[in-house]
Structure 1
Amino acid sequence: MVEAAGIDLLNLLLVLTLAWAFGLLVERVGYPALMGEILAGILFGPALLGLVHPSEPLDIFAELGVFLLMIYVGMEVDIHDLFDLGPQALMVAVGGFVLPFGLGYAVGGVLGATIEQALFIGIAMAATSLATKSRILVDLDILDTRIAGVLLGGALLSDVGVMVVFTGIMGFVETGEVTALGLGLVAGKALLFFAVALVIGDKLLPYIWEQLEGWMTRHEFVDKTSAFTVALVVALIFAFLAALADLHMIIGGFIAGLFLRQAQLDPDIYDHMYNVMYDLAMGFFAPIFFVTVAFELTLTVFTQSLGLLVLIVVVAFVSKIAGSWLFTLPTKLSSKEGLVIGLGMNGRGTVEIVIVSIALSAGIIGQELFSILVFTAIFTTTLVPPTVKWGIDWLEQTDELVFIEDVDVEVE
C-alpha cells in the first residue's frame, strides 16, 4: 500500500514537473503552455519513453483540472455578451458539425467500414473540445475578443449537439434503429438543463447569494475562504444538473462560472475567488489534464496504418475549418475572423477520446481505428495553439481583431 502510494506520488511529481518545464519552454518561444504540456505527455508517456503513466490519481486530478478550468473560463465571460454572439456561435457549431460528420461517414463508407463504425468516424471528426479552446484563449489572453466569444459559444453548442447525436448513435447500435422520440427526449433533456440553469443562475443565484452574504455578515462569519467554498458547491450543483441531462460535467462548470460572474459579489471576495480558481486550475490541475490527454496515443499506427491515418487526419483537419468558416460567411464576422474561428474549432481532445473509448469498450471499433481516432484528436488539438496564434497575429496586423466592447454583433 505504502509502496503503491509512493509510486503514484512520484508519477504525479514527474507529470507536474514536465508540464511546468515544457509549458515554460514553449511560452518562451511565444506559444501557449498547453502545447508544451501535450508534447511532454507524448514524449515521456506510454507512447515513447514511458517515464510517466496513467493512474487512478492522475485521472481524478485531470477531471478536476478540466472542471476547474471551465469554472474559471466561465468567470472570464460575460453571459450577456455571449447571448449577443449567440447567432454566430450557432452558425459555427452547425458548420463545424455537419461537414466533418458527413465527410467522416463518407470516409468510413469508402474504407468498407460497417455503418456503426462509419457513424463513429463521423462523430469523432465532428467532435470539438470546449476545454482545449478555453485553455488556448486563456493562454493567448484574448477572452475579451469577438472571436473568443463566438468560439466559446460555438464549442459549447457543439458539445451539446455531439452528445445528442452520440446518444442517438448508441441507440442505433443497441437497437438497430433511431427513433424520433428517442432523439427528441435527448434534445429535450439538454434544453431543459439550459432552461433550469438560466433560471437558477440569472434569477435565483444573485438573490440567494445576497441573502447568504447578509446572513454571514450579521453572524460575523463572512470570509473569503467560505465564499470560495460556496462557489465550488454552486459549480458542483450545476455539474450535477448537467449529468442528469446526460451532458459532460465541464458544461455545468462553464455555466456555473458564467453565473458566478453575474452574482454581484463583494469585489474583494470575487477577486479572491477568481484568483484562487485561476491558481488551482492553471497552476496544478489543468496541466495534469493536458499531459494525460497524450497518454492515449500509440505510435504503431505509423507503421501499420500510415495511409489511413493521414487520410483521416487530413479530412478531419480540413473539414472542421472549412465547415466553421463557410457558416460564418452569412454573418457580420469578417472572412478572416471566420477562418481563425475555424482554426480554433479544429481541436477535439477530450470529447473525441471519450467517445471513441466507449466505442472501443463496446466492441464497435477495433484497436487500430481507436488509435487512429485518438491520434487524430491529439494531432488536431496540438495544431490549434500555433494556428490560432498565427491567426490572432494576422488579425492584429490587419487591424481586424475586434474586442467585444467595441461592436454589437448581429447576424445579417
Structure 2
Amino acid sequence: MEIAAGPVPPLGGHALALFFVQVGLLLLLATLLGRLAARFGLPAVVGELLTGVLLGPSLLGHVLPGLFARLFPRTPEQAHLLDAFGQVGVVLLVAVTGLHLDTELVRKRASAAVRVSLPGCVIPFGLGVAAGWLMPESLLAEGSGRTVFAAFLGIAMCVSAIPVIAKTLMDLHLLHRNVGQLILISGTVDDVLGWFGLSVVTAMATTGLHASGLVRTGASLLLFIAAAALIGRPVVRGAMRRSARSSDGGVTLGTAVVIVIALSAATQALGFEAVLGALTAGVLIRTAGKEVLGRLAPLRTFVMAVLAPVFFATAGLRMDLTALADPTVLLVAVLLLLIATVGKFVGSFVGAWTSGLSRWEAVALGAGMNARGVVEVIVAMVGLRLGVLTTGTYTIVVLIAVATSLMSPPVLRLAMGRIDLTAEERLRESELRATVHKDDRRPVEHT
C-alpha cells in the first residue's frame, strides 16, 4: 500500500532563471514607459500595456521571432510561472482598489449614483450582448458558446475603472467639484456591478448554461455576500485591529495579504472569479479604521510600483496587433469601440439628465464614466484565460480599454470648463488647498 507520494521534482534551473529575466525585463520597461506616458498626461497603464505590445507577438515576435521564442517560449511551465505571478498581482491590485471604496459616501449618495450608473450599465451591456450575437463565427473561441460569449462582451462594454477615473479627476483638479464626486461614486457602483457581473459570467462559462446551475450560482453569490457582511466584517476588522497593536508593521501587511488571498480562494472555489473575493477583502479591511489603512501604505506602493506594472505588461504580451490586418477584425474593432463609447456615454448622459443635472454636467458624467482602463484589461485577461476570447477579440477589448481612457480627460475638461463653481465647491476647494499646504510644510522623511 502506497502511503506517500514521491517528492515533486524541483523546477528546472533554466526555467527559473528565464522567469527572473522575464519579470525583470517586463518591470524595467513597464516602469520606464509608464513614467513616459505620465509625462505626456496619459494614464501609466498605457505605457505598461505598451511594454507587452513591444515585447510580444505584435512587434518583437513579428520582427525577431527567434529572440521572442527564446524570451517567451510557448511551454506550459514557463507560461504558468508568469501567469501565477500576474494573478497574485491582480488580486492585490483589486484589493487595493477595495481599500479606497468609500462605502459610506456611496450610501449617502446611492440614489443619484444608481440613477446615473444603471442606464450607463444597462445600455452598453445590451448593445454588447447584441454585438456578441451578431459577431462573425471566426472571432469566437473554439468551444465557446455564443450565449456566454455575448454575455461576456456585454460585461466588457459596460464596466468603468475607478483607478483611472480617480486619477483623471485628481490630474484635472476636479475632486472638489460636485460632478467630480458624483462621477467617482457612480464609477464605484459601476465597478461593483462589473465585478459581480464578471463573476456570474465566469460561473456560466465554467458550469454551463443550465437553469439549476444559474440558480445555484445566484444562491452562492448571495450567500457569499451575506457571509462577508455578517461574519466576514467583524472577523476581518478584529484581525486587522489586533495586528495593528504590534510594533512590527509587517504583521499588519501579512494579515491583510492573508485575508485577500483567503477570500480570493473562496470565490474561486465557488466558481466565481478571484477578483470578487479580493475586492470584498479590500472593502472589509477598510472597515478596520484609518490607523490600519495607514499601515497598509507600503502594500499599496509595492503593488502599484511592482506587481501591477508586471501584470499589465503581461496583459500586453497577449495582444497581437497584427490581427487588425484582417479587415473583418479591424471592422469589428471599430464597431465595438463605437458601441462601448456611445453606449456608455449615452447611458450615463441619460441617467444624469433625468436626475435633474444640466446638459454640461451630464456630458461631464458621460465622459468621466467612459474610462475603462484597468478593469477592462482584467476582464479581457479573464476572458482569454477561460477560453471565451480569441487573441483577436482579446486585442480588441484591450484596445477599447486604452482608447476610452485616452478619450475621457479632454472631453471632461471641456465640459467642466462650462460649469460654474458653486459656493459649496469653493469652500471645499479652499479646505483642500489648506490641507495640501499643510502637508507641504511637513519635513520630508527618508526611508
Shorter-chain TM-score: which interval? 0.7 to 0.9
- Secondary structure in 1 matching 2:303: helix
Task: Name 2:14's counterpart in structure 1.
Answer: 3
Give the deviation of 1:384 after TM superposition. Answer: 3.0
Deviations 1:313-350 (A, max 9, x none): 43344334333443444336641343024312586222
Which whole-Å CA distance do the structure 1 matches of 2:26 and 2:412 have between them?
Answer: 30
State the aligned residue count.
382
Deviates more, 1:349-358 or 1:150-159: 349-358
Distance 1:110 1:253, change over 3 A: closer
Aligned partner of 2:316 among 294, 302, 321? 294
1:11-410 correspondence to structure 2 within 5 Å: 11-50=22-61, 51=68, 53=72, 55-88=79-112, 90-91=114-115, 94-110=118-134, 113=137, 116-117=145-146, 120-127=149-156, 133-137=161-165, 139-140=167-168, 142=170, 145-165=181-201, 167-168=203-204, 174=208, 178-179=210-211, 181-210=212-241, 212=242, 222-264=247-289, 267=291, 270-273=293-296, 275-304=297-326, 305=328, 306-331=330-355, 334-345=361-372, 348-359=376-387, 370-394=390-414, 396-399=416-419
Distance 1:7 1:202, change over 3 A: closer
Q: Give % identity.
A: 23
Which whole-Å CA distance do the structure 2 matches of 1:389 and 1:169 have between them?
Answer: 35
**Superposition TM-score, scaled by structure 1 size:** 0.79
Deviations 1:59-95 (A, max 9, x none): 1222122222222222222221133344455455543
Which whole-Å CA distance do the structure 2 matches of 1:318 and 1:138 have between them?
Answer: 21
Deviations 1:220-279 (A, max 9, x none): x542111211121222232233324433222222222222222136x3x54232x21121
Distance 1:97 1:118, change over 3 A: farther
Maintained 8 Å contact 1:357/1:370? no
Give the deviation of 1:387 after TM superposition. Answer: 2.1
Q: Which amino acid aligns with 1:27?
A: A
- Secondary structure in 1 matching 2:48: helix
Deviates more, 1:145-154 or 1:239-248: 239-248
Which whole-Å CA distance do the structure 2 matches of 1:276 and 1:43 have between them?
Answer: 30
Deviates more, 1:34-43 or 1:95-104: 95-104
Distance 1:313 1:153, change over 3 A: same
Maintained 8 Å contact 2:113/2:182? no
Which whole-Å CA distance do the structure 2 matches of 1:125 and 1:33 have between them?
Answer: 26
Give the deviation of 1:110 after TM superposition. Answer: 4.6
Deviates more, 1:111-120 or 1:184-193: 111-120
- Secondary structure in 2 matching 1:344: coil
Which whole-Å CA distance do the structure 1 matches of 2:258 and 2:102 have between them?
Answer: 21
Maintained 8 Å contact 1:70/1:134? no
Give the deviation of 1:156 after TM superposition. Answer: 1.6
**Superposition TM-score, scaled by structure 2 size:** 0.74
Give the deviation of 1:13 after TM superposition. Answer: 1.4
- Secondary structure in 2 matching 1:150: helix
Deviations 1:35-74 (A, max 9, x none): 1111221122222114564833321222122222222222
| Structure 1: gaps of 5 or more residues | 361-368, 407-412
Which whole-Å CA distance do the structure 1 matches of 2:416 and 2:124 have between them?
Answer: 29
Deviations 1:189-220 (A, max 9, x none): 2122222112235444334544x35xx95xxx
Which whole-Å CA distance do the structure 1 matches of 2:302 and 2:28 have between them?
Answer: 16
Distance 1:311 1:73, change over 3 A: closer
Maintained 8 Å contact 2:348/2:362? no
Distance 1:258 1:186, change over 3 A: same
